[in-house]
């Protein structure tokens, strides 16, 4: 139903301002999301706050170079930030990232409290958990 990932607040703001492509390295246990699922924006370093959401329009797996070629103007991070992200995680240039093209991006009228801290691995929410989050 939904996946929640921690992001820097400035990256979330870029998404709210129209940068509609998100990317992330995922491990072997890639999230069980599909097109039409929700992506929840969780402010890293916050006290359990989700700031908004979007609908996942497409899911692709691309190298950093392919991402920049295809989506540089729409990507939520800069080319330099993507290079730093790859280097900090010691990933080879050919390692693919999960790339989500987003639609229906919306900022919540107020932050929503999550039940626990969200790690970099993210958290998958069931339909019930998602509805509970929206009601907080």
Q: Judge whether 66 and 21 are in contact, CB under 8 Å.
A: no
CATH superfamily of 2-135: Hypothetical protein. (2.30.130.30)
Residue 108 has a pLDDT of 97
Residue 29 has a pLDDT of 63
Residue 136 has a pLDDT of 87
pLDDT band (50, 70, 90) for residue 119: confident
Residue 115 has a pLDDT of 84
Pairwise CA distance, residues 101 & 32, whole Å? 16
Domain ranges of the chain: 2-135
Q: What average pLDDT does this structure show over 75-88?
A: 96
pLDDT band (50, 70, 90) for residue 48: confident
pLDDT digits (tens, 9 = 90+) for 2-33: 999 999 999 999 999 999 999 999 977 667 78
The answer to whether the pTM exceeds 0.85 is: yes
């Amino acid at each position: 139903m939904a996946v929640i990932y921690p992001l820097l607040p400035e990256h979330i703001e870029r998404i709210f301002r129209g940068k509609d492509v998100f990317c992330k390295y995922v491990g072997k246990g890639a999230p069980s999301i599909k097109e039409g699922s929700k992506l929840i924006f969780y402010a890293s370093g916050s006290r359990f706050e989700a700031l908004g959401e979007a609908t996942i329009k497409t899911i692709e797996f691309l190298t950093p170079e392919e991402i920049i070629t295809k989506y540089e103007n729409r990507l939520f991070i800069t080319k330099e930030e993507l290079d730093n992200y790859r280097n900090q995680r010691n990933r080879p240039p050919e390692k693919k990232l999960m790339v989500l093209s987003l639609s229906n991006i919306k900022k919540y009228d107020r932050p929503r409290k999550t039940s626990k801290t969200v790690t970099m691995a993210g958290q998958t929410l069931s339909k019930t958990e998602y509805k509970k989050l929206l009601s907080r």
